Amino acid sequence: MDYTPHTEADIEAMLAAAGFTGIEDLFAPIPGSVRLGRDLALPHGMPEAEVLALMEGLARKNRPTGELVCFAGGGAYDHYVPSPVAHLAFRAEFATSYTPYQPELSQGVLGVLFEFQSMICELTGMGVANASLYDGASALVEAINLATGATGRSRIVLSGALNPNYAAVARTNGGARGFSFSTTAAGDGVTGDLGDLAGAACVVVAQPNFFGCLEDLAAIAEATHAAGALLVVVFDPTTAGVLEAPGALGADVVVGEGQGLGVGLLYGGPYLGYFATRPEHVRRVPGRIVGATVDVRGKGGFVLTLQAREQHIRREKATSNVCTNQTLLAIAATVYLSWLGPQGLVELGESCLAGAHQAADLLASVPGCRLAFAAPFFKEFALQVPGDAERVAAGLAERGYLVGPGLGVASAELASHLLVAVTERRTPEQIEGLAKALAEVVA
Amino acid sequence: MSGRARGPEPQTIFDVSAPGRRASSVAQPAGSPAEGLIPPGLRRASPPRLPEVSELDLVRHYTRLSQRNWAIDVGVYPLGSCTMKYNPKVHEDVAGLPGFRNIHPWQPADQVQGALQLLWEMEQYLAELTGMARVTFQPAAGAQGELTGLLIMRAHHTATEGHPRSVVLIPDSAHGTNPASVALGGYKVRQIPSDERGLVDLAALEAALDPSVAGLMLTNPNTLGLFETDIERIAAALHRSGGLLYFDGANFNAILGKVRPGDMGFDIVHMNTHKTFTTPHGGGGPGSGPVAVSARLAQYLPSPVVGYDEAANRWFWDTDRPQSIGRLHGFHGNFGVVVRAYTYLRSLGGEGLVRIAERAVLNANYLRALVREAYPEAHPGTCMHEFVCTAKPLRAKGVRAMDVAKRLIDLGFHPPTVYFPLVVEEAMMVEPTETESRESLDALAAALLQIAGEASSDPELLHEAPVTAPVGRLDEARAARRLHVRWEPGSPWLDE
Ligand SMILES: Cc1ncc(COP(=O)(O)O)c(C=O)c1O
């Protein structure tokens, strides 16, 4: 394939016009001693039809949902992506544009992002939101950075019921800046004793947490605030039709993964980190914020605002280094939430909640299996199975069901526990099928 | 932005909402509603105020908004440092294949062999292109790649010297993400001036080197579009003092197959697949920022990396990485973006990648020559894939780079990057990319020259521009002063 338009005649004329005699002249500034004096050891190019066939072959080596009925969770869920989402979000005018630095030519993207921020505020109960971050884990890092900046403290208390990958990302990032981390117990499937919070910048909990269980946010907020720390909540926005907004329960920063909002599974990315906080922290918010204003003729429009927080202006003093973010996924989420509407969001939550409880009842009645935790849960729960959870999951996959991850990813003691997630896409028949398959596998 | 819908000015989706209207249909569970499953204090009393619209309302609203946006598919987009090249359509078809789209990040390796094979092969290709040993795909964009590289620097110095060192050198022409990443990586920034050639001032660099310096972040070609011809001396000086050399790959497009960062002495490289390998920029993202490192640094890469068991012909996630810096991404990075980049690499092949570099550089030098008289280049010499020129000569007529940019909009072009890099007055940074034709470049040059003429004959035209865009110049100061960053019921979408 060749996507360049140059004819031989073009090349000759252009070289002459620019004062060069040959293509190699253009590369004269590169010292010969470092030049690659050979062809690249890469495959040859191929026509579009062949590359498509090649890629179809690779794709066929994977076992996607559809082939497997998806009950997997752990931070990524098989929610339905309605047809208008891709048709609208992937319109070329959105997909093939870039950061709206020239607002007059970017009113489309800016307008959607303003709506996105508004919707995130609605879901989380917060006053300001940004225009997206990389993923839930990096959004958590930014929340920790806000908390350390706002409190002048550097001690971070992580819930033991946090997604272990998020905790790992937080430690990787915070370590370099000298932050210290401690982790609470989570033996009952929810955040245990917070311990001594003196000197803590923030407490981080997830709602629902990694085990699917619901946290008593108001109580955690009270203890956190009593110590002068901020409460950071990692919140699943698909639950927001049913669950109280974290902002109404005392959260100071609400972040999370927007994957469930019309994005799809995509083997883990691109997903959509979101970030919301109280208005008093607006100048510490990372990344882009879209604001409304007027043009020279008094007509309304949108711009990137408070850019003096950002790296291209503030450089090493910026609130964050994020530049390219996940705008296209934010557009998808905005279309999805508009499609859903308030009633749809409630129904989505109720459907997940009911399905998960139906599944929990059935699976826990399989001999040798039981619910790991007594705490209330939402769309996902931990199931204790006989023996190694990964082996049970493999047996279920042979029978066409995808579950997991095994909780060995969180702690070795939980190696016989499996996460099972139920979205609105799962039918009662599929849930019964899973229970039957489980009975066979553990028999 | 032709074909823009006529009719009233668009409002937000909230303003076209009507109570009780809806687009969604959600399968409802059989049996009784889920009462009593949520502790009372955790149940939300009234749902979030999302818009209530029909599917047609939805389609019209977002279609109309999209028509208020410039894009590569609409026209020329010569935004310097951003590599706004054509995004092949087939990439979207490939990324949408169920086998790529619908796989779950926690699926065990034996169920996703195609995905792992793709990542593994992509790693080999990027290693060959960069002259590096190993690659991580976790970073979701260039800036996250930078931080990853800096954390690897820390790990290296900590392991070899017992402490991470404290300072990272940055040229004064560097992109803002570089210093911001340095700060997040726990380092202090020490800035190195550019000399009159627009290149790193070697004497200043050597003077800045001491045992506190962990490394130097450099993009080559640099942000002035110039190749750092002293790169071997820079690398030698840095390595002599025990520092590492970091390659910001935002400008990799210019040198594909011509020179490799590894052969220039770089130790750590990030790439912006959204720039060099054509994944659509998506209105500001997603991107992907794979990081490649030399063999001695491979042990520090984020965990896990892809492994290959040759005997079993099987790919797996290698989590046995005791020296790893840890994790940067919740899962495996922006996989869907890597799928597009892989497709591009296989479509073009090695010979096609070299052609990209050649034609990107040709286009930039051609355009630069066409506009040189009115917009002198900031520095002499051959440019690479982009050039920085200045609108300074127009200043005497009261015209600034921003006016040129806005007038270009009226003439049918997206403006170049303006006022960056910061070291050039009235900077205009132009990156045409290899997919623009000679005719488009001629037209862009003609528009730029016309504007230079108008700066004398009718400067008001420039100050008032744009007049053909959906909005005129927007009041950014007001936006920051009277923050209005979300819709709320009852408030009009603007104050007046
Ligand atoms: C020179 C340079 N370095 C780094 C970056 C950061 O890359 P990203 O936006 O993918 O984070 C950019 C682009 O924005 C750039 O132009």
Asked whether the predicted pLDDT for residue B5 surpasses 50, the reply is no
Distance from CA of B366 to the nearest CA of A (A): 5
Asked whether the predicted pLDDT for residue B495 surpasses 50, the reply is no
Q: For residue B2, what pLDDT is reported?
A: 45
A vs B, Cβ pairs < 8 A, gives 717
CA distances from B144 to A103, A169, A425 (A): 25, 12, 34
A residues 182-211 closer than 8 Å to B (CB): none
With contacts defined as CB-CB under 8 Å, which chain B residues touch A139?
Answer: none
What burial class does residue B457 get, using C-beta atoms within 10 Å of its C-beta: 0-12 exposed, 13-18 middle, 19+ buried? exposed
Distance, first Cα to last Cα, chain A: 55
Contact A109 B23 (CB under 8 A): no
Position A378 confidence tier, pLDDT thresholds 50, 70, 90:
very high
Q: For residue A172, what pLDDT is reported?
A: 98
Does the beta carbon of B287 sit less than 6 angstroms from any atom of ligand 1?
A: yes
The closest-lying atom of ligand 1 relative to the alpha carbon of residue A321 is: 11
Asked whether the predicted pLDDT for residue A255 surpasses 50, the reply is yes
Give the rounded distance of the alpha carbon of B355 from its chain centre: 22
Distance from CA of A425 to the nearest CA of B (A): 7
Does the beta carbon of B253 sit less than 6 angstroms from any atom of ligand 1?
A: no
Place of tokens 């019309």: A262
Place of tokens 């497997």: A68
Does the beta carbon of B223 sit less than 6 angstroms from any atom of ligand 1?
A: yes
C-alpha A174/C-alpha A202 separation (Å) is: 13
Position B6 confidence tier, pLDDT thresholds 50, 70, 90:
very low
Pick from B10, B176, B326: CB nearest A111: B10
Task: Give percent of chain A above pLDDT 90.
Answer: 97
C-alpha A172/C-alpha A75 separation (Å) is: 19
With contacts defined as CB-CB under 8 Å, which chain B residues touch A422?
Answer: none
Contact A301 B77 (CB under 8 A): no
Does the beta carbon of B250 sit less than 6 angstroms from any atom of ligand 1?
A: yes
Contact B332 A43 (CB under 8 A): no
Q: Is B113 part of the contact surface with chain A (CB cutoff 8 Å)?
A: yes
Provide CB contacts within 8 A for B403, sequence distance 6+: B394, B455, B459, B462, B463, B465
Q: For residue B9, what pLDDT is reported?
A: 65
Place of tokens 């884990």: A137
The one-letter amino acid code at B32 reads S
Asked whether the predicted pLDDT for residue B327 surpasses 50, the reply is yes
In tens, the pLDDT along B380-422 reads 999 999 999 999 999 999 999 999 999 999 999 999 999 999 8
Angle between helices B335-371 and A8-18 (to 10 degrees): 50
Range scoring the smallest mean pLDDT among B295-299, B321-325, B419-423: B419-423
Task: Give percent of chain B above pLDDT 90.
Answer: 93
What are the backbone angles phi and psi of residue A370, rounded to the nearest 5°?
-155, 160
What burial class does residue B386 get, using C-beta atoms within 10 Å of its C-beta: 0-12 exposed, 13-18 middle, 19+ buried? buried
In tens, the pLDDT along B52-103 reads 999 999 999 999 999 999 999 999 999 999 999 999 999 999 999 999 999 9
Position B496 confidence tier, pLDDT thresholds 50, 70, 90:
very low
CA distances from B173 to B21, B226, B260 (A): 53, 11, 22
In tens, the pLDDT along B115-168 reads 999 999 999 999 999 999 999 999 999 999 999 999 999 999 999 999 999 999
Mean pLDDT of the region A67-89? 98
Q: Which of B70, B52, B48, B73 is nearest to B61 (CA)?
A: B52
Does the beta carbon of B279 sit less than 6 angstroms from any atom of ligand 1?
A: no
Q: For residue B10, what pLDDT is reported?
A: 64
Q: Ligand 1 center to residue B253 CA distance, Å?
A: 13
With contacts defined as CB-CB under 8 Å, which chain B residues touch A292?
Answer: 479, 484-485, 493-494
The closest-lying atom of ligand 1 relative to the alpha carbon of residue B141 is: 10
Task: Look at A433 and B1; give whichever has higher pLDDT.
Answer: A433
pTM (2 decimals)? Answer: 0.97
Q: For residue B292, what pLDDT is reported?
A: 98
In angstroms, what is the C-alpha Rg of chain A?
A: 25
B residues 423-482 closer than 8 Å to A (CB): 434-438, 464, 466, 469-476, 478-480, 482
Q: For residue A156, what pLDDT is reported?
A: 98
Q: Is A103 part of the contact surface with chain B (CB cutoff 8 Å)?
A: yes
Place of tokens 């950071």: A232
Mean pLDDT of the region B25-43? 80
Does the beta carbon of B289 sit less than 6 angstroms from any atom of ligand 1?
A: yes
Q: Is the dihedral of CA A174, A176, A181, A186 positive or negative?
A: positive
In tens, the pLDDT along B239-297 reads 999 999 999 999 999 999 999 999 999 999 999 999 999 989 999 999 999 999 999 99
The tokens describing A351, both together, are 């459907």
In tens, the pLDDT along A88-132 reads 999 999 999 999 999 999 999 999 999 999 999 999 999 999 999
C-alpha B416/C-alpha B82 separation (Å) is: 10
Mean pLDDT of the region A228-250? 98
Task: Give percent of chain B above pLDDT 70.
Answer: 96
Mean pLDDT of the region A235-258? 98
| A333 touches A263 (CB < 8 A) | yes
Q: Is A65 part of the contact surface with chain B (CB cutoff 8 Å)?
A: yes
Angle between helices B142-161 and A164-176 (to 10 degrees): 70
